Amino acid sequence: MDSQTPIPNPTPLTENIPPQNPSIETPPSQVYTAPHLENPPPPKKPFMFSKILLPIVIIFVLSAATAGTYLALNSKPKPAPIVSKIAPTSAPTSTPDPTANWKTYKNTENGFSLQYPQGKLVEISEKNTGKNSCTEQKGVVDIKIYPGDYKKSETETHFFGDLWVNISIVDNVEKLSPEDYVRKACATFFSQDKITSMKSLQIANNNFLAIIYKNVMDQQQEVIVPKGNKLYFIHGFSSKLPNPLFDQILSTFRFDSP
């Protein structure tokens, strides 16, 4: 055999490969788990709130309470507003007119009228009339009113009814007031010892002079109404005066013309 010179093996290229230590092994990565606590402690309050803000809040609350107490003790209570209670007003009730259904007597010759009650025995006479006590003037009408069940006797000479009204008219040439006429023309009859009362009144827009005087046995009433140059004497006779029936008849007295 031919002797051959052996070819040396080329030296391998050296690379930057870290040396490997086959005896050291890298342990597997492990995850740490914190232990679980059954009752965890409460979180700690921040230092700022516990040390600074809490005292400020307490001071503010105490100051507000003190101020409120001071105002409550020193403030004057305001008076409660006065509420006026207005009672409900009921509709006005009209008083019934007692003369609404009365009958009317009208004297066309002398221009006046009046009313008298129904349900009464009424005698009206324009002829056989009495005379005025003051002037001796004969009346223009007599109206005698009796109770409804009154039985009048034919021989009766005195009046026993409810009311006797006599109306007479006298001339008033001097146009004296009723008061002056009574003092001048009737001074003897209407003497001070006879007159019980004398007053002026107005009924149905008519001015009256009402005189209550004493007669021999009773009291009588004379009402004088002026009209132009005449005076109307309305004489009322009854057992007791004032008589409400006479006042009601006066309230219906009217002149035909103003």
The structural domains of the chain, with segments of one domain joined by +, span: 107-255
The listed range with the strongest mean pLDDT (1-10, 140-149, 157-166) is 140-149
Report which of 211, 27, 234 is spatially closest to residue 130, judged by C-alpha positions: 234
Share above pLDDT 90 across residues of the chain, in percent, rounded to a whole number: 21
Which is it for strands 206-214 and 219-227: parallel, antiparallel or unpaired? antiparallel
Cα angle, residue 128 at apex, residues 117 and 101 outer, rounded to 5°: 10
Which is it for strands 206-214 and 195-203: parallel, antiparallel or unpaired? antiparallel
- Per-residue pLDDT band for 204 (boundaries 50, 70, 90) equals low
Could you tell me how far CA 160 lies from the centroid of its own chain? 49
**Model pLDDT, residue 75:** 61
Alpha carbons 258 and 254: distance in angstroms, whole number: 9
Residue 222's contacts (CB-CB under 8 Å, 6 or more residues apart) are 133, 134, 210, 211, 212, 213, 233, 234, 235, 236
Structure tokens at 131: 């005379």
Alpha carbons 199 and 3: distance in angstroms, whole number: 194
Architecture of domain 107-255: 3-Layer(aba) Sandwich (3.40)
Above 60 in pLDDT, residue 1?
Answer: no
Query: 251: how many CB neighbours lie within 10 A of its CB?
Result: 16
